[in-house]
Structure 1
Amino acid sequence: MTEKANILDEQAIGRALTRIAHEIIERNKGIDDCILVGIKTRGAYLADRLSKKIEQIEGKKIRSGELDITLYRDDLQTKHADNEPHVHQVDISHDVNERKVVLVDDVLYTGRTVRAAMDAVMDLGRPSQIQLAVLVDRGHRELPIRPDFVGKNIPTSSLERVVVNLHETDDEDSVTIHSKK
């Protein structure tokens, strides 16, 4: 894989997350009925960052949690043909019933990860609403899913890959586009 372009640096990611935090608060008229849920791995780190920004703005903590959607993936058989069991973890200690759940992920592509996350949330209860916040929307949807909050829209080719690096996992914050060939 060859790097083609650096799209977001650390400052741009910080600005995008600050804007998304403000938009979440504004759209929901505060945070009292909201739960931020990060989709592991990078979505969970982004949700944690959003949670801290929202707390700075609102002066109080927002409910939060994270989930691992591995067992909810519709492509589990093709990705894991070895039929090895994969651990499914949901770390949401708050009741989702009648709450606004804001799913957080790093990149929105086909929509399959988000569909799996919605299935996982619905297994926990009946939220009043599910919203989606993503750092990058790259297009190429296979399912009718659209984000409510977007850090950056990046039109891509299906022959490209969007790579999100975060300090928590990669020792730097950046979003780059790579060529698959």
Structure 2
Amino acid sequence: MEIPRKLIWPGSTQLAPVPAVLVGCGDGRTHRYNLITVAWTGIVCSAPPMISVSIRPERHSYALIGEAGEFTVNIPPARLARAVDWCGVVSGRDHDKFKERSLTSLPGSQVAAPLVAECPLGLECRVTQALELGSHTLFLAEILAVQVSEELLDRSGRMQLEKAGLLAYAHGHYYELGRCLGHFGYSVRRKPGPTVRR
């Protein structure tokens, strides 16, 4: 296999693909429920389960999350790509995003921020730290609860998220996740040997 030539670019945000998620915020009383599309998010710890989201201070959701200290992360299917994109380019100051995109808000079990019923997976999160990094602030949060659509569970209760047709984002474009190539550890898994009959 021929090794491709590499070009050297200045440091920049070229990591891809990344998830395109809907972050829910607001409590529905003091502040109207809002959604913001975020691609800069990821799991940062397993015990306790923690996640991060990066948001610009000028965004409407930034103040809502900072004040409440909680939010939800909703994993959308590809069929919601237009709504996900729209929620990332208009402001919740001027739009009721749930109403205008015909999305259904669900109450959290641990937080006041809303979840999105049309998303197959939702994480309820409480902020533990806010780190000002420059253009964005990184909110670190503990995942307090997870809401999963029942139709994604098999008979044994195992989640089959691969059936949800999830959305990904790469350099300004949305994609639907495709075929499975393997599972974690498959490259070192022993192949079953011949059956020995006795």
TM-score tier, shorter chain, comes to under 0.3
Instruction: Tell which structure's C-alpha radius of gyration is larger.
Output: 2
**Bigger relative CO (Cα 8 Å, ≥ 6 apart):** 1
More helix by proportion, 1 or 2? 1
TM-score w.r.t. the length of structure 1 is 0.26
**Alignment TM-score, normalising by the size of structure 2:** 0.25
